[in-house]
Amino acid sequence: MEQLKTRLPLKEDNIYDFLGYSLDISKGSIQDRAFSDSKQTEFDAQVLGVILSHYISGKPAPTTGILMKFNKLQGGYAYERAFETRATQPIAKAFGKKPADLLEAGKLLGGIPLKYGDSSIQIPALEGIPIVYILWAETEFHSYATVLFDQSANSYLPTEDLAVLAELTSSRLVKARNILPTQ
């Protein structure tokens, strides 16, 4: 946990907020501050524990602003179909009919709206690892989503962990959509 203190922008009370979670570095605990589904939170905490342990081993690099599809990351082509199924398609399905909801859900996770597709947002999944979601709304064709990483992402995490982090981030976006006020 001490290594995380030097890597993450912590609040005064040694708390790091990300994806609707609060990581308490002093206690070594993760709290879900956005959603109350405790069963999923236990799973998320285990997954995040593994990701954070690998994140500590990474070599931080500044973001480049060059966005890459998952299949262009080191070895990403081998896991591309599963990545599409687990991280990309849920976004298209959840937000395809109401693309503006992607922005609202993303804001609940600290996202920054972008101007790609019909709707797009950059989610700060972890410090130094922004994930960009681009959505094309359902029209006469099915909706379509793309998930992009900064070129520097592999300096922080191996590709397998980036896939899990994107899947978790997609899941959090869908959960956030479910708590948006209905219009």
pLDDT in tens, 117-139: 999 999 999 999 999 999 999 88
Is the pLDDT higher at 97 or at 13?
A: 97
Q: In the chain, list all ranges with CATH 3.30.310.
A: 67-178
**Residues 26-57: tens digit of each pLDDT:** 888 888 888 876 555 667 778 888 999 899 88
**Model pLDDT, residue 72:** 97
Please indicate whether residue 14 or residue 70 has the higher confidence score (pLDDT).
70
Q: How large is the average pLDDT for residues 147-169?
A: 97
Pairs from 44-53 (Cβ < 8 Å, separation ≥ 24):
44/168, 47/164, 47/168, 48/21, 48/23, 48/168, 50/161, 50/164, 51/126, 51/157, 51/161, 51/164, 51/165, 52/4, 52/23
Prediction pTM value = 0.92
Indicate if the alpha-carbon torsion angle 132, 50, 164, 96 is positive or negative.
Answer: negative
Cα 167 to Cα 1: distance, rounded to the nearest angstrom: 24
pLDDT of residue 39: 58
| Domain 67-178, CATH | 3.30.310
The helix/strand/coil state of 93 is helix
34 to 63, 69, 172, 183: CA distances (angstroms): 27, 28, 9, 21
